Structure 1
Amino acid sequence: MRVFFTPDKHELIEHACSVRIRSAEVIKVFLHLEPVPFNQGFYAVDMNFFFDVCLDVFLPQSACPNVLHGVCLANKRVILFGSDGNVKTFVSGCSADPDVELTTGKVLPKAVCRVSEPIGLSAKICDRPPQGCDICSGIPDSISELYGAEFDYGCSHAIYATIGLFTIVQLVRDVPLLIPSYEFCIPEQECQPTSDSPREMFRRIEFPAEDFFPPKVSDISGDNGGSCEKR
């Protein structure tokens, strides 16, 4: 993904000879939900991810890097089953009306995206691609305000970052559940008093044997001694 910067970073990007990624952070995820035609109960979830990327930018004949922050964008679409909702729920003290499908009037589910801490994998400097090859108009004003200026798309060089991210996307609905309830009970027994002595408290703590003996290979990779591989 291309990293976009504010105009005050233009000179550094133009003269940079190498770049290294430090970290990445998810600023915001915008979600859009729409029904899938001819597939009742299925919905398409379009997600727009906005990342803050921290980079070390090196200039020629300079040993100390310049730390810069930029923004990159990523889009993803998933199709999930969210069932159909035929009733609307209204709650006192809540002004938000339920999202309703315009064509059928049915209540839409809620799309939820959970993200882990991003992993900055790599960064590189490339020549700027032809106009229109990058997402340059998709940064909203709410993101630009965090950086104090509009973003610059006119550099002859561009920085691209590779980011790893784990996500869980869900469609959520409110459904009634029947749970057995019981009458409240009054405690009939008193708690036994315990000593506030630090020595007595320490004696009740089990010896942390696992802290002194690190895990074996079989404990990490399984009893069969195999290795785990992530693709």
Structure 2
Amino acid sequence: MAHVCDPTLVFRQLFEKVSSTYTYVLADANTREAIIIDPVIETVDRDIKVINDLNLKLLYAVNTHVHADHVTGSGQIKQKLPGVKSVIFDMNAKADIYIKEGDSLQFGSKKIEFLSTPGHTNGCVSIVCHTAKSVFTGDALLIRGCGRTDFQQGNSALLYDSVHSKIFTLPDDYVVFPAHDYTGQTNSSVGEEKKHNPRLSKAKEEFIKIMANLNLPYPAQIDRALPANLVCGIQN
């Protein structure tokens, strides 16, 4: 199990195997107030069980962007845990709280801060927890990779600038926790990705060429996921 350096932060990294999505639970160990990042609809019951087993009070369900590869669990979590508020950057999606660059959310004595990191989609954010020396990068930065830029407002030049100006300017020892991994890895670090990421360690022009020639298949769940995620995963 992945760990963070803050001993007063409850932390869980959870995995959904069909879309290879990581969901994260963070909580103040003293007040038990918690947030969840990028929940998946198929694993809501598992996530709620973890929250209940750890005696946590979930305040916020945060999505790093409008996902195209899975349906968010935020709406179902709100139904099953009344009082939870959904959070997103993208104003086109339904949510209780819309955040912008530099905003923060408090849970107990803990705080997360939001960085706008568009390029995979316009509404992508990365989430920094300084006390844990961690950044939750969504699809902007993956372990030795990055989110694709060939659909849904994708822009390779913008993604490159986002990662280099927002994520790669964090301290090298900050742990990178992505929204997905397809090779069994759980985390990386800012310094590692600056040095070893086969795409984003390159010059910008080369990165744009690499992204233009990936020839990836059409996302398997996009036609189901996008409409649902614009309404918090709940369709009437």
Decide: shared fold, TM above 0.5: no
TM range, smaller chain:
under 0.3
TM-score by length of 2: 0.17
Q: Computing the radius of gyration over CA atoms, which structure comes out larger, 1 or 2?
A: 1
State TM-score, norm by structure 1.
0.17
